[in-house]
Structure 1
Amino acid sequence: MPRTTTLECPGCPPLRALTFDTLGLIKVIESRENQGGPKVVERWGEPHSSKFVNAVSIIDRKSHPLLAVARKNGQIDVLSLVNGDSHATITPANDVHVQSEENSIIGLHLFAKQNLDLDSRVCTLLTCTSKGNASIRSIEVPDSLTGSSSTNSSKTWDVCSGGNVLCCKVDGNEKFALFGGKGVEVNIWDLANETKIWNAKSPPKNSLGIFTPTWFTSVSFLSKDDHRKFVAGTNNHQVRLYDISAQRRPVLSIDFRETPIKALAEDIDGNTIYVGNGSGDMASVDIRTGKMLGCFTGKCSGSIRSIVRHPELPVVASCGLDGYLRLWDTKTRQLLSSVFLKQHVLHVLFDSNFIVEDMPKGADSLPCKEQTMKEIAVGEEIEASSLKRKKSSKVKENGIDGSEKKRRAKQSEERKKSKGNDGPEKMASREERSKSASKKRNKSSKKEISDEE
């Protein structure tokens, strides 16, 4: 049976998240003020094992937000982030590099800098397969859903000569891409010139002379504005910090538990990272010192596959093979809420413009984060005052009853002490008194009998 937690969840602020599972389903989870917790409000797509989601990417903006999904069968879908309508579909027949499931797409990035026209929209995609075939293509997406999409231009190159690429990440300025995998050292490429600008060097052997093989499972840049510093998770439960301006080997290495690192995410402060492993452990680490800030309260019962930090709210989401989407508080590391999604969940994304853009017409506007925090504080003060009143009344009642009990207990103790402290003389005098009293009673009874006669 899966392990569950008995923690009290205080609830999460209004937000919107999208999850992607092994059957290719996209589920939209929304949390509103009077909804009683996050709930699944929409489900996009039809379930099928061939539609297994390998990679996802999002353009999170107010106007024309887009979502790209790469599937196991090599198909790439470009969808609307608002309602899930399909804008473009790239099939494996059109992609020369994706010819089998062994060379499926594992890296996907949808560039946010788009050229928006009146009649059509152009979106640019970066894809990378497990064999290291990377490509950048521009797709013309018509406004009408019935229109067909066409590829305007494409650039391809090879990221590695051997091994399998398992992770791919593009920096915030969308100028550099980071790749790594099994047998592939992490390396950075300039996307404009398609040239490799940096390649990591393997760590030296340990004190026993054992060399750890290269096996990277996840990567993430620390800051959106700086591509020189990034973190990488390995299969041998290590988190490594790299600085390409300093050296080729890791600047810092941190061991986390005993299972492979499966997910990494950076915080908006640029100094904290969130780590998840194959046994369901999740923690936050200060990457400047390498010290663990703390583990997230509540054990997940399956491998964590995706961790995402909300760009505005102090909320971080995690999902994995136990089928749960969990929302955590970044400051207290407490569980805010969880949603059971029935399938193995592989990826999660946040829609940060949900409160502003996704409200139905005529509906009341949702409260902002400050309002919700104030309401929570006021409610806590009211509850605290009521509890104080109840406690004071109970203290008064208990105080009266307690004084009487104390007085009676003292009297009984004094009696016991007086009985215990009596010497042999006092005992003898007591016996004599009792004998004399009995004699007097006998004499009085004899007199009464004689008088009656």
Structure 2
Amino acid sequence: GFRKRFTLLRRRASATRSKLTEMPRVISNETLGCPPIRALTFDSLGLIKVTEARGKERGTPTVVNSWGEMNASRSVLAASMDDRLNNPLLAVARKDGNVEVLNPCNGDLHFAYSVFGDDGSSPEDNEVSGLHLFRKQKEDHTERSCTLLTCTRKGDVSLRTVQFPDARADSTDEAAPKTWKACGSGELLVGKVDGTENFGLFGGKRVEVNIWDLEQCTKIWSAKSPPKDNLGIFTPTWFTCAAFMSNDDHRKFVTGTKSHQVRLYDVSAQRRPVMSFDFHETAITAITQDPDGHTVYVGNASADLAAFDIRTGKLLGSFLGKCSGSIRSVVRHPHHQVIASCGLDRYLRVYDVKTRQLISAVFLKQHLTGLVFDSGFSGEAEIANTVVEAETEETMEQEGQEEENDDEIEEAPVKRKKSKKEKRSREKVSEGEEMDKLRSKKTRDHKKKTKKVKHTEED
């Protein structure tokens, strides 16, 4: 009995290995196709990978660039992007406490600084949990500047502006960074900035969500924990993700909790949630809003992704496609009707918003921690250039072939078709020549034999 069980376990293990080895690197739906998108993904080993789908319709996303070196201590914890047309910027916060500002077009480093330079605390105990790169920048030809907001697990929030003339020169702080404590106790896990970039939202484990005025660095609103349920059980506060419902209004926002609950808050109405509903049985790990203002996309730790109407709490539908592993980021594209998700199963998946079908999936080898879209990418210029180059190459090849054919026609003699009689006569002549050769061989052999017989008789 033990041997049979052992052999069965070995067969199952070999079958699972074969399935894993046969997993495709790129899965695409040819009927739908992927619009031109450019996505930047971040993983647990500190790599930044660029995935692009070029073409107007039915493109296939492929990895075109990979920046950085594999190092677990430089894992990317948070990222934010300013994808304007002129001088775009990308900010990433790493596990070792460094915040880097890069060029999202080629991956060049503009500047970097450490969040733990002032207080001297170790990054292991106080990791960065939130990062935002402000879009309102001071555009100057001589000196460029950017403003960054960071928050750590212990509740330390800092707001600093950094000047960098170019990539070679050293960066300098315009003034001392503004710092404050968003929570006195607990663990801060969520840090978001609204569309107007005037207000910030913070929350986490044993930390109720609260909103701060970023200009005055003061708290203007704090939520109240929901009441006990029918059984008298109080669910502890544990927020994992949040998103503002509109870019113009900071008063409505939606949150996800560790207790698989989605909550809608309205600052102007009350301190407790206006609406709350459950989604499966695992923690909510990622949430994002739709530009229509009433649809949210929710992902959880059991790889479930669904769309909800936040006005009624009704489930609009689940997104189709095989997915295994916790979802860590869900992003809605601002222009195209697609959303993308990534997580611990190492796949970047792109879905159609209307049909909720999987358009494409790209295998990226490492555990993914975040995702951002480059909304300024169109994919037409690159394709136009490649098409023009391909057309010129084809025309050059055709011209070269035509010239070679002309030369061959001039040099080669004119050939005429042979009649059937000529072919038959040639065949008869060739047959006669073969018969003559055979006869000559026979006569030679006969002469040799007769000579040998004469020599033997004389002896």
- Taking structure 2 as the reference length, the TM-score comes to 0.76
Describe the superposition over 1:392-413 as per-residue Cα deviations: whole angstroms up to 9, x where unpaired. xxxxxxxxxxxxxxxxxxxxxx
**Which residue, out of 128, 135, 142, partners 2:165?**
142
- Report whether the alignment pairs 1:343 with 2:358: no
Deviation at 1:91, TM superposition (A): 2.6
2:28, 2:60 within 8 Å by CA — same for their partners in 1?
A: no
Describe the superposition over 1:10-52 as per-residue Cα deviations: whole angstroms up to 9, x where unpaired. 3201111000000010000001139961110000111100111
1:274, 1:284 within 8 Å by CA — same for their partners in 2?
A: yes
1:239, 1:253 within 8 Å by CA — same for their partners in 2?
A: yes
Match for 1:78: what amino acid? Answer: V
Describe the superposition over 1:234-261 as per-residue Cα deviations: whole angstroms up to 9, x where unpaired. 0000000000100000000010000000
1:82, 1:358 within 8 Å by CA — same for their partners in 2?
A: no
1:317, 1:327 within 8 Å by CA — same for their partners in 2?
A: yes
**Which residue, out of 268, 279, 285, partners 1:262?**
285
2:43, 2:369 within 8 Å by CA — same for their partners in 1?
A: yes
**Residues 92 and 7 of structure 1: CA distance in aligned 2, closer, same or farther (over 3 Å):** closer
Which stretches of structure 1, 4 residues or longer, exceed 6 Å deviation after superposition?
2-7
Q: Which runs of 5+ in 1 are unaligned?
A: 366-453
- Report whether the alignment pairs 1:17 with 2:39: yes
Q: Which runs of 5+ in 2 are unaligned?
A: 1-15, 389-459
Deviation at 1:99, TM superposition (A): 3.0
**Residues 360 and 298 of structure 1: CA distance in aligned 2, closer, same or farther (over 3 Å):** closer
Match for 1:173: what amino acid? Answer: T
1:98, 1:129 within 8 Å by CA — same for their partners in 2?
A: no
3-state SS in 1 of match to 2:378: helix
3-state SS in 1 of match to 2:220: strand
- Report whether the alignment pairs 1:322 with 2:342: no
Describe the superposition over 1:344-386 as per-residue Cα deviations: whole angstroms up to 9, x where unpaired. 0111111011117973894459xxxxxxxxxxxxxxxxxxxxx
Describe the superposition over 1:190-219 as per-residue Cα deviations: whole angstroms up to 9, x where unpaired. 001001011000011111111100000000
1:98, 1:104 within 8 Å by CA — same for their partners in 2?
A: no
**Residues 231 and 77 of structure 1: CA distance in aligned 2, closer, same or farther (over 3 Å):** same
2:28, 2:359 within 8 Å by CA — same for their partners in 1?
A: no
The 2-side partners of 1:159 and 1:41 are apart by 40
The 2-side partners of 1:93 and 1:135 are apart by 11
**Residues 7 and 312 of structure 1: CA distance in aligned 2, closer, same or farther (over 3 Å):** closer
The 2-side partners of 1:267 and 1:247 are apart by 24
3-state SS in 2 of match to 1:76: strand
- Report whether the alignment pairs 1:234 with 2:257: yes
Match for 1:254: what amino acid? Answer: F
Instruction: Quote the residue 1:427 is aligned against.
Output: none
The 2-side partners of 1:118 and 1:251 are apart by 48
1:281, 1:299 within 8 Å by CA — same for their partners in 2?
A: no
2:38, 2:373 within 8 Å by CA — same for their partners in 1?
A: yes
- Report whether the alignment pairs 1:127 with 2:150: yes
> Percent same amino acid among aligned pairs?
58
**Residues 93 and 128 of structure 1: CA distance in aligned 2, closer, same or farther (over 3 Å):** closer
Instruction: Quote the residue 2:437 is aligned against.
Output: none
Instruction: Quote the residue 1:359 is aligned against.
Output: 382
Match for 2:235: what amino acid? Answer: T
Deviation at 1:329, TM superposition (A): 0.3
**Residues 95 and 331 of structure 1: CA distance in aligned 2, closer, same or farther (over 3 Å):** farther
Number of matched pairs: 364
3-state SS in 1 of match to 2:382: coil
Describe the superposition over 1:278-317 as per-residue Cα deviations: whole angstroms up to 9, x where unpaired. 0000000000010000000113100000000000000100
Instruction: Quote the residue 2:335 is aligned against.
Output: 312
- Taking structure 1 as the reference length, the TM-score comes to 0.77
**Which residue, out of 180, 205, 209, partners 1:186?**
209
**Which residue, out of 92, 98, 114, partners 1:69?**
92
Instruction: Quote the residue 2:267 is aligned against.
Output: 244
The 2-side partners of 1:279 and 1:158 are apart by 33
The 1-side partners of 2:243 and 2:105 are apart by 27
Describe the superposition over 1:79-123 as per-residue Cα deviations: whole angstroms up to 9, x where unpaired. 001111000111356343753311111110000011122221010
Instruction: Quote the residue 1:223 is aligned against.
Output: 246
The 2-side partners of 1:137 and 1:251 are apart by 34
The 2-side partners of 1:358 and 1:228 are apart by 40
- Report whether the alignment pairs 1:28 with 2:50: yes
- Report whether the alignment pairs 1:151 with 2:183: no
The 1-side partners of 2:252 and 2:116 are apart by 38
**Residues 93 and 126 of structure 1: CA distance in aligned 2, closer, same or farther (over 3 Å):** closer
3-state SS in 2 of match to 1:354: coil
The 2-side partners of 1:70 and 1:195 are apart by 25
The 1-side partners of 2:324 and 2:120 are apart by 37
- Report whether the alignment pairs 1:272 with 2:290: no
Describe the superposition over 1:128-161 as per-residue Cα deviations: whole angstroms up to 9, x where unpaired. 0100000100111122x22111122210000000
Q: Alignment RMSD, CA only?
A: 2.1
Deviation at 1:125, TM superposition (A): 0.4
The 1-side partners of 2:138 and 2:120 are apart by 26
Instruction: Quote the residue 1:393 is aligned against.
Output: none
1:55, 1:108 within 8 Å by CA — same for their partners in 2?
A: yes
3-state SS in 1 of match to 2:125: helix
